[in-house]
Amino acid sequence: MTTYVLVHGAWHGPWAWDRVVPLLHAAGARTLTPDLGASGDRGLHHDAGTVAAALDTAPEGEELVLVGHSYAGLVVREAADLRPRAVDRLVLVDGWAGPDGVSMFGLAPDAFVTAMRAAAGTSGDRRHIPAPSPAAFGVVDAVDAAWLAERLVPQALRTFTEATRLSGAVDRIPGTAVHCRPAAYPFDRFGAALGYRTLALDGPHDVMLTDPVPLARLLLDVPGHPAALQEQEGGSLE
């Protein structure tokens, strides 16, 4: 059996995976959805520690696939570096990722960094970034947008400024980088630079909300069917 540890991105919570989890369970997989939280002046290392603690609770002797969406691409790589023997495969879904010492602001374009710092300046403590609109995540359907808007939470600024601490152990774990298209940022290049297999998936940044079925199908292929992934590399999944 395979256990998927599904880690949500910035401004989101474990609920981000609510439409994917039942599909994985129906296929016989287990899931864990750690909550990175929304309160306090937390940073990237705190979030990586939360995920590492979740890995410690995973059943032994099963294949474990660690999945990170968006900002959590950085989180899951640091968590896997802390627990390299626990993780069999990594999957980034439109994930920010890079080598030791890089932060999300170090990867993001200047316009993004400027906008996020300005947004944090409007918050009461200047340490949290208010959540953007659902449209910023590519969610435009009225019902889905309303569902998402009422769940989004502020994001600690330090999660974007803190640099990763990696020993190199994570680089020995096979990885897949899923990049949604049309692309908002060069997530395919982030994955390719790490030596990960890159796969395109048609859908917006929050593809787990808008297109859970093709995403679940891709995740189910990652552990056991590398040949199927090879056939679809560089193409969309329908």
Per-residue pLDDT reduced to its tens digit, 1-44: 999 999 999 999 999 999 999 999 999 999 999 999 877 789 99
- What is the structure's pLDDT at 124? 83
Confidence of residue 187 (pLDDT cuts 50, 70, 90): very high
Spatial separation of the C-alpha atoms in residues 57 and 83, rounded to whole Å = 12
- What is the structure's pLDDT at 230? 38
Global pTM reads 0.93
Using an 8 Å Cβ cutoff, are 170 and 194 in contact? no
DSSP-assigned letters across all residues of the chain: -EEEEEE--TT--GGGGTTTHHHHHHTT-EEE-----SSSS--HHHHHHHHHHHHHTSPTTSEEEEEEETTHHHHHHHHHHHSTTT-SEEEEES----STT--HHHHS-HHHHHHHHHHHHTSSSSSEEPP--GGGGT--SHHHHHHHHTT---EETHHHHSPP---SGGGGS-EEEEEEES-SS-HHHHHHHTT-EEEEEES-TTHHHH-HHHHHHHHHHHHH-HHHHHHHTTS---
Q: 120-159: per-residue pLDDT in tens?
A: 999 888 999 999 999 999 999 999 999 999 999 999 999 9
What is the domain partition of the chain in residue ranges? 2-75+85-218
Using an 8 Å Cβ cutoff, are 226 and 204 in contact? no
- What is the structure's pLDDT at 176? 97
Q: Does domain 2-75+85-218 have CATH number 3.40.50.1820?
A: yes
- What is the structure's pLDDT at 237? 35
Return the structure tokens found at 238.
Answer: 């329908």
